[in-house]
Amino acid sequence: MSNDIDFIINFLGEHQDGYHRAVSPPIFQTTNFGFQTVADLRLALANESTTPFYTRGTNPTNRLLAQKLAALEKAEAALLFASGSAAIAAAVMANVQHGDHIVSVQKPYSWTTKLMSNLLHRFGVQVTYVDGTEPKNFEKAIQPNTKLFYLESPNSLTFELQDIGAISAIAKAHGLLTLVDNSCAGPLFQNPMALGADLVMHSATKYIAGHSDAVAGVVCGSQALIEKIFASEYMTLGGVLSPFNAWLLLRGLRTLPLRMAKSAENAQKIMQYLDTQPLVTKIYHPFHPQHPQLQLAKQQMKNAGGLFSFELSHDLSIGQIEQFCNSLKRFILAVSWGGYESLIFPLCALTDSANYQKSTVSPHIIRIYTGVEDAAVLIDDLKQAFEAIF
């Protein structure tokens, strides 16, 4: 049977005979599962990572989703979490202990930075951040106690890439693991494991859920690495996804290819419009001709989605940038992305935030996410907002 994307999304793991041939799989909204004999109970308990026994461990709705997500990432197995941050924390923590060292790409997602620099620091784990655009920087930062490389490619604010294949090869040569946050590209446009990575994490809140209604995360990897996380962080910290949210993600997955294609197409159209705007000085998107790593992007990504940033002229005041954003009627001023709706997030909003380090990024940059609306409507909205600041 073919393992193509349509098969994975529509058929893999579904056994409708088990539930009256319902087209949409049921939500197993239950905490625990009963057994007929002590022998069955004992057997289930011994195989808690694969057998429905207690929902913090395994639940059939979650298992169906995990099976599909693992297959999409070309991984043997996956674990679902209550958020992307929980997934990232579990994946990292399961593979370090007191006295260990991590080499991370600089400026990972804000709460990932906090995980490594603040939380893990309390437990004696050190981190070195490197410019990830040059694979050699990872190698140079290796210490005798280094255990893993942490990548996030593309970055979701300024879209720098890391050469996942080259960096994973360096890791392998030194006996280290490579972990990649693949939220920005999503599982259809980039598969880090096929490039040599060991664990891939997603904020499934974004493209995978796709409807701005569920916070979720996933870690994909080999059976052995996933079992290791299951037996430690997954079960002890217990930040697992609810069956209801797993079901919402299954629903979201059905249209992932459609949504990704439309969002990416809208981004292209809107970037083409912004390219003609004199007030726009730069566009940050992996597939934009201005991107300094365009060649790498085309090599390791099938496409890039609807998330990108643009910089406005420094002749504009922050007040004017705020006025531009406030004038938008279709784009919603909000964080996150990956849903049906278009969003705008000006980085000048970070200035008073405790979540972000002292701004390493220009406050003239605005991040856009293009949803699945009609591109013409979005472009008209941007037009009237530019007119509002002239």
Ligand X SMILES: *Cc1c(COP(=O)(O)O)cnc(C)c1O
Query: Which CB, 256 or 389, lies closer to ligand X?
Result: 256
Residue window 196-215: x/- pattern of binding to ligand X, with contact defined by CB under 6 A = -------x-xx--------x
* 284 is a catalytic site residue: no
**Apex 113 CA angle, 109 and 114, nearest 5:** 120
Q: With beta carbons less than 8 A apart as the criterion, state whether 135 and 162 touch.
A: yes
Q: State yes or no: residue 184 binds ligand X (CB under 6 A).
A: yes
Number of residues counted as binding ligand X (CB under 6 A): 14
- CA–CA gap between residue 75 and residue 84 (Å, rounded): 18
Catalytic site includes residue 56: yes
List 63, 68, 206, 262, catalytic entry = 206
| Least gap, CB of 29 to ligand X (angstroms) | 22
Structure tokens at 140: 């140079």
Those residues with Cβ within 8 angstroms of residue 374's Cβ, 6 or more apart along the chain or in another chain = none
156: tokens are 């979701």
| Residues 81-120 contacting ligand X, CB under 6 A | 83-85, 109
Q: Which of residues 133-162 bind ligand X (CB under 6 A)?
A: 152, 156
Task: Identify the active-site residue in 54, 56, 269, 340.
Answer: 56
Nearer to ligand X, 180 or 296 (CB): 180
Q: Residue-wise over 334-343: b if at least 16 C-beta within 10 A, else e? A: eeebbbebbb
345 binds ligand X (CB under 6 A): no
* Nearer CB in complex with ligand X: 61/182: 182
- Based on the shown chain and the rule CB under 6 A, indicate whether residue 233 belongs to the binding site for ligand X: no
Alpha-carbon distance values, 349 to 106, 206, 294, 344, 356 (Å): 21, 21, 28, 11, 10
| Contact stretch for ligand X (CB under 6 A) within 35-43, 71-79, 178-186, 188-196 | 178-186
Stretch touching ligand X by CB under 6 A, among 28-36, 80-88, 130-138, 357-365 = 80-88
Site membership for ligand X, residue 183 (CB under 6 A): yes
Which is nearest to 335 in space by CA: 315, 353, 360? 353
Residue 65 binds ligand X (CB under 6 A): no
For the annotated catalytic residues, the residue numbers are 56, 109, 181, 206
Interacting residues with ligand X (CB under 6 A): 83-85, 109, 152, 156, 181, 183-184, 203, 205-206, 215, 217
